Copies of this chain bind each other. A is one copy, B any other.
Amino acid sequence: MTTPLFRWRLRLAWFGDAYVGWQRQPNGLSVQEVVEDAVSGFFGGVPVIARAAGRLDAGVHSRGQVVVVDVPVQRSSRAWVRALATIFPDDITCLAAEPCAPDFEPRRDAVGKHYRYRWLERWPHCPFRANRTWHIRRRLDVPAMDAAAQVLQGTHDYSAFRAAGCTASSPVRAIRHIAVRRVADEVHLDVRGPAFLRHQVRIIAGTLTQVGVGRFDADRVAAILASGCRRQAGLTAPAWGLWLEEVLFEPPLHWDETAGDA
């Protein structure tokens, strides 16, 4: 006989520096492990499995990962947020928690993800943005980067923008939105699409960096895409400049981020 379980949906933010990414790995601490241990502790030690909308690479930051867990007792959203705030280390936060349908699966049900890549574009670095931006000591040609980025929009075979170890069965993906813009002393690449290959956004960022410094142009990026050859593209940009901004659902999820408030 099994105890009935209640499914809860959590919105999680974390600073990626200390973690091997979302998914459990033999080589270091994962966010999944911290979350499962915390939720287990909140429910008196029951075994807990947490499933997320996607893995993230080691060092990548999350502003809105969506995770589900099944637990044996109903608790309020406020109790969830407050308990996890007390248990989690300083670099992981449960922004919101809500009960959800027992068949909700974040990976399957998500319609897309919004990633942002951040460059810090100035000569001296900023002591307050180490490990959260990629520091580039060059002036980047942002209009050229944005023009080249548009080449990558649409549905394509992204073999040239895929890590060697990527295990996806197909290299075809769709990018619905891609844009590069300057924001004060940073340059931001925003990308939205239903799913991404391993390192895809970081290889795009590395390739657009070559455009920004004048080594590649939009035609070259089109040729790289057509080549399907990873070595034609730029280097994989560092993980610490990459942010998972949001997991997209249709209809959108409306989180009550004040649930923990007094």
Contacts and interface: CB of A to CB of B under 8 A. Distances in A.
A90 B260 contact: no
Contacts of A260: 122-124
Interface stretch (A51-59, A92-100, A103-111, A196-204): A92-100
A258 to B, nearest CB: 8
A14 interface: yes
B125 A93 contact: yes
A261 interface: yes
Nearest to A243: B128
User: Chain A interface: which size bin?
Assistant: 20 to 34
A42 to B, nearest CB: 14
A251 interface: no
Work out how many copies of this chain go into the complex.
2
A172 interface: no
A219 interface: no
A46 interface: no
Given A139-B261, A261-B122, A93 B127 contact: yes
Interface string A220-262: 0000000000000000000000000000000000000000111
Nearest to A85: B124
A188 interface: no
Across the A-B interface, the 10 shortest Cβ-Cβ residue pairs: A123-B260, A90-B130, A15-B127, A85-B124, A91-B127, A93-B124, A93-B127, A14-B127, A123-B261, A13-B127
19 contacts: A13-B126, A13-B128, A14-B127, A15-B128, A81-B123, A84-B124, A85-B123, A85-B124, A85-B137, A90-B127, A90-B131, A91-B130, A92-B127, A93-B125, A93-B127, A95-B124, A122-B260, A124-B260, A138-B262
